[in-house]
Chain A
Amino acid sequence: MLLIDTFVLALKNIWSNKMRTILTMLGIIIGVTAVIVIVGLGNGMTQQVRESFSSMGIDSMTVSIWGRGSSRAATVDYMYKVVADNPQYLSDISPYVQISSQTVKEGRDTYRYTGVYGVNEDYISIANYTIAEGRGLQYMDMKENKYVCVIGDYLAREAYNGNAVGETIKVGTYQFRIVGVLSPKTTDPDLQEGGEDDRIYVPYTVALRINQSTTVDTYTVIMADENYANQAKSTIEKALYAIYQDEDSYYVYSMSELLEQMNQTISMVVLVLTLIAGISLLVGGIGIMNIMLVSVSERTREIGIRKAMGARETTILFQFVVEAGTTSALGGFIGIVLGYALSAAATAVVPLVAPGQSVSISPGTTAVLVSFGISVGIGVVFGFLPARRAARLNPIEALRYE
């Protein structure tokens, strides 16, 4: 009852001093707008980084093994077993053997940038490829050391005009039969040559032979759940330590780790910017306190009258705190609306001004709720001192005040 009446009274007082209220709120409005836009920008950047990472597979890890001077070595079967034994953290694994010393040739044309990798039958799906034509690699291809391969979209178009399946391609002196073509991963022409669509995938057993090697030194491992990236990483590290007894013999590198680092950097930048914007909120709070002090002395007589009518000190205190809180909450609300409008405008305008660039500024509910809460809090905190002064006025002196 009293709460509603106090609130209505506060709104009336704010309304009857529109100009003053708007000026008072300005600090809060600017602060909240800035916070909303900055947080939105941070969210947008995080989102973008996340998107570009997830196309690379943020759930993937790269395991590099040097295993220098060890009598034992981690075999492919051992690595498969590690993955199979830890289904809660790890889901898939593939060897990843680069063949770098050989040149790719089709007829007389050479493809210098084309990457050739030895992988297993699971790799196509691990790397988020899909088969556009023909078939993928199969277990029997590994087991029987078949010279077959699957090639990327770019290579298929450039070298075979799209009719690659059944043709042969030469890697150094070795001839491979093309059994499948992969769907494109990117449509950006700049990223095609030498990129993920300019690849040849062969059975890893064949790759090892070409490299004249017996052990696989690189694996791609997929986590079961990217939220348990650290556990997934340490599972593999433990398994490798059991073999090599030396932490320098291997390295497990996860995409999500990098993503986390980048996110941390972004969060840090956003935090610093938000703190700077927060200064405006502080200044706004001081402005509110200042105006409330003026308001209290202007309304001394009113306070005296109200006290004579039976208003308790707590009631007067409450009235002024609510008034300050309402003022800053209103400022916060306007700031949120303005912040959203600015974010939307920036999202819409940036691609027009700078083609090829895109920003998505999405502040999110948390930012809105937090900044609204903070602005109400600022009003209450900075309104408290003037309100207490009002509450403690001597009614006799207040009634006599001109």
Chain B
Amino acid sequence: MSALIEFDEVCKYYYMGDTVVKALDHVSMRIDKGEFVAIVGQSGSGKSTCMNIIGCLDVPTAGTYKLNGRDVGRMRRGELADIRNEMLGFVFQQYNLLPKLNLMGNVEVPMIYARVPRAQRHARAKAVLEQVGLGDKLKSKPNQLSGGQQQRVSIARALVRNPPLILADEPTGALDSHTGREVLGMLQDLNREGHTVILITHDNSIAMQAPRIIRLEDGRIVYDGDAHSPEAFVSPVLEAAFEDFQRKEREEEAEKAAGAAKAQEARKAEKAPAQEGGDAACS
């Protein structure tokens, strides 16, 4: 398998006044053609930045990102736009359909920028919408559709240029679990058809649907491998925090135990004279 995505020491820093936010900190990874990968992380872990760079919406501060062998970091904005059009299909959490256009119009957008002739565009848009099961709603507006249906339109739009890479950013985030599973199933189907699918999510149960998981924390990769390995969902940060918590608890317990012992002794000391007094009173 040849590499579709190669990250070599990719960094993305944001400068906020004097502080530097390291959204991505020397991240290296490789995703091959035909893979299904979930990039997982809590908010602030750098997964959104990672997605923006993979999606050619942003370029790294340092390091190289090669998409299909081409160095994206050195591209002009116009070239990046062309790459997005040819190579990438985006599926967003909020669907991001254009509300004024009907489904056909929405699905045609990427083809307009690729200057596909009108007749061809119509035929292709129709075919893709039929493929996602919306062949009967070609003229509907997005707001006439349910969330699941809208997400299917967005998948159709992502597919329409037949890009090698589908980038899904929390695609199930706004859906109930049933439709979420459906959408996930569609992404899996696309993967079986040969598209490389990258799923960005914070939800471990969703991420587990992907055979491979890349876990980000504080801008670094903390796990990259089999989704079914027990370490896949082990977070070093959480672990450290947990250990910290446990240690504190142990310390507290120890302290408490020590305190209790002291108190007991003190009580014993108090009790002895009292007993004596009591005895005296009784007698």
Which chain A residue has the least Cβ–Cβ distance from B169?
A399
* Structural contact, B57 and A310, CB atoms closer than 8 A: no
**What residues of A have a CB within 8 angstroms of the CB of B81 in the complex?**
307, 310-313, 315
| Cβ contact of B78, chosen from A1, A312, A396, cutoff 8 A | A312
Assembly CA distance A301 to B83 (angstroms): 20
Contact A396 B57 (CB under 8 A): yes
Which of B58, B112, B161 has the most C-beta atoms of chain A within 10 angstroms of its own C-beta? Answer: B112
On chain B, the residues within 8 Å of A12 by CB distance are 100
- Contact between chains at B77 and A313 (CB < 8 Å): yes
* Interface flag for A395 (CB, 8 Å): yes
Inter-subunit contact B110/A310 (CB<8 Å): yes
Cβ A308 vs Cβ B55 within 8 A: yes
The residue in A12, A309, A396, A399 that gathers the most chain B C-beta atoms within 10 A of its C-beta is A309
Which of chain B's residues has its CB closest to A15's CB?
A: B100
| Contact (A310, B114) CB under 8 Å given A396-B57, A396-B58 | yes
Q: Which of B110-150 contact A (CB under 8 A)?
A: 110, 112-115, 117-118
- How far in angstroms is the closest Cβ of chain B from A56? 64
- Contact: A310 with B82, CB < 8 Å? yes
Question: What's the Cα separation between A395 and B92 when bound, in Å?
Answer: 14
User: Is A306 an interface residue when CB atoms closer than 8 A count as contact?
Assistant: yes
Contact with A along B67-106 (1 / 0, CB 8 A): 0000000000110011111100010100011101000000
Distance A311 CA – B77 CA, assembled complex (angstroms): 10
The dominant DSSP class at the A interface is helix
Q: Give the docked Cα–Cα distance between A1 and B55 (Å).
A: 27
- Does A193 count as interface, using CB distance less than 8 angstroms? no
Q: Could you tell me if A1 and B110 are in contact, using CB atoms closer than 8 angstroms? A: no
Q: B90: which A residues are within 8 A, CB to CB?
A: 308-309
Within 8 A of B (CB), among A290-322: 301-302, 304-315
B254 to chain A, nearest CB (A): 49
A310 touches B86 (CB 8 A): yes
- Nearest A residue to B84 by beta-carbon distance? A310
Number of interface residues of B (CB under 8 A): 28
Report the Cα distance A313→B77, complex, angstroms. 8
A13 within 8 A of B: yes
Chain A residue, CB-CB nearest to B110: A309
Name the distance in Å between B128's Cβ and chain A's nearest Cβ: 14
Q: In chain A between 330 and 350, which residues have their CB closer than 8 angstroms to a CB of chain B?
A: none
A308 touches B100 (CB 8 A): no
A2 within 8 A of B: yes
A16 lies within 8 A of chain B by Cβ = yes
Contact flags (1/0) for B48-70 with A, using CB distance below 8 Å?
A: 00001001011000000000000
List of A residues within 8 angstroms of B113 by Cβ: 306, 309-312, 315
- Does A77 count as interface, using CB distance less than 8 angstroms? no
- Bound-state Cα–Cα, A342 to B77, Å: 51
* Interface: A5 (CB within 8 A): yes
Distance A399 CA – B96 CA, assembled complex (angstroms): 8
Contact of B109 among A2, A16, A306, A314 (CB under 8 A): A306
Contact B78 A308 (CB under 8 A): no
Contacts of A5 in B (CB 8 A): 112
Residue of B84, B114, B115, B117 with highest tally of chain A CB at under 10 A? B84
Residues of A within 8 A of B86 (CB): 310
Report the minimal beta-carbon distance from B167 to chain A, rounded to whole angstroms: 9
How does the 8 Å CB contact mask read for A364-402 relative to B, with 1 for contact and 0 for none?
A: 000000000000000000000000000000011001000
> Knowing A305-B96, A308-B90, A399-B96 touch, does A2 contact B112 (C-beta < 8 A)?
yes
User: Which residue on chain B has the smallest CB distance to residue A313?
Assistant: B77
A residues 265-302 with Cβ under 8 Å of B?
301-302
Chain A nearest Cβ from B46, distance in angstroms: 14
Per-position binary interface string of chain A over residues 1-32, scored 1 when its CB falls under 8 Å from any chain B CB and 0 otherwise = 11001000000110010000000000000000
Which B residues are CB-close (under 8 A) to A396? 52, 57-58
B82 touches A399 (CB 8 A): no
Residues of A within 8 A of B77 (CB): 312-313
B78 A313 Cβ-Cβ under 8 A: yes
- Cα–Cα, bound, A310→B109 (Å): 9
B202 contacts which chain A residues (CB < 8 A)? none
- Tell me the minimal C-beta distance from A310 to chain B in angstroms: 2
A308 to B157 CA separation, bound complex (whole angstroms) = 11
> Contacts A1-B117, A309-B109, A315-B113; is A16 near B57 (CB within 8 Å)?
no
How long is the Cα–Cα vector from A309 to B57 in the complex, in angstroms?
Answer: 10
B154 to chain A, nearest CB (A): 10
Q: In the assembled complex, how far is the CB of residue B170 from the closest CB belonging to chain A, in whole angstroms?
A: 13
- Distance between Cα atoms of A213 and B22 in the complex (Å): 111
| Cross-interface CB contact of B100 among A2, A16, A311, A314, cutoff 8 Å | A16
CA distance A395 to B109 in the complex (A): 16
Count chain A CB atoms within 10 A of each CB in B78, B92, B113, B117 and give the residue with the most: B113
Chain B hits for A13, CB < 8 A = 100
> Which residue from chain B places its CB closest to the CB of A395 in the assembled complex?
B57
Which parts of A45-75 form the interface with B (CB within 8 Å)? none
In the assembled complex, the CB of A333 is this many whole angstroms from the nearest CB of chain B, namely 24
Given contacts A2-B115, A395-B57, contact A312 B96 (CB under 8 A): no
Query: Contact flags (1/0) for A65-102 with B, using CB distance below 8 Å?
Result: 00000000000000000000000000000000000000
Cα A5 to Cα B110 with chains together (Å): 12
CB of A309 within 8 A of CB of B58, answer no
- B residues 212-234 in Cβ contact with A at 8 Å: none
Q: Which of B57, B82, B92 has the most CB of A within 10 A?
A: B57
Q: How far is the CB of A153 from chain B (nearest CB, A)?
A: 73
6 pairs, A vs B, C-beta closer than 8 Å: A5-B112, A306-B109, A310-B110, A312-B78, A312-B82, A399-B57
Per CB-CB distance, the 9 closest pairs between chain A and chain B, nearest first, are A310-B85, A312-B81, A310-B113, A309-B110, A310-B84, A305-B96, A395-B57, A312-B78, A309-B109
Q: Could you list 20 further interchain pairs (A-B, Cβ under 8 angstroms) beyond the known A5-B112, A309-B85, A309-B157?
A: A1-B117, A1-B118, A2-B112, A2-B115, A13-B100, A302-B98, A305-B96, A305-B97, A305-B109, A306-B98, A307-B84, A308-B57, A309-B110, A309-B113, A312-B82, A313-B77, A315-B81, A395-B57, A396-B57, A399-B96
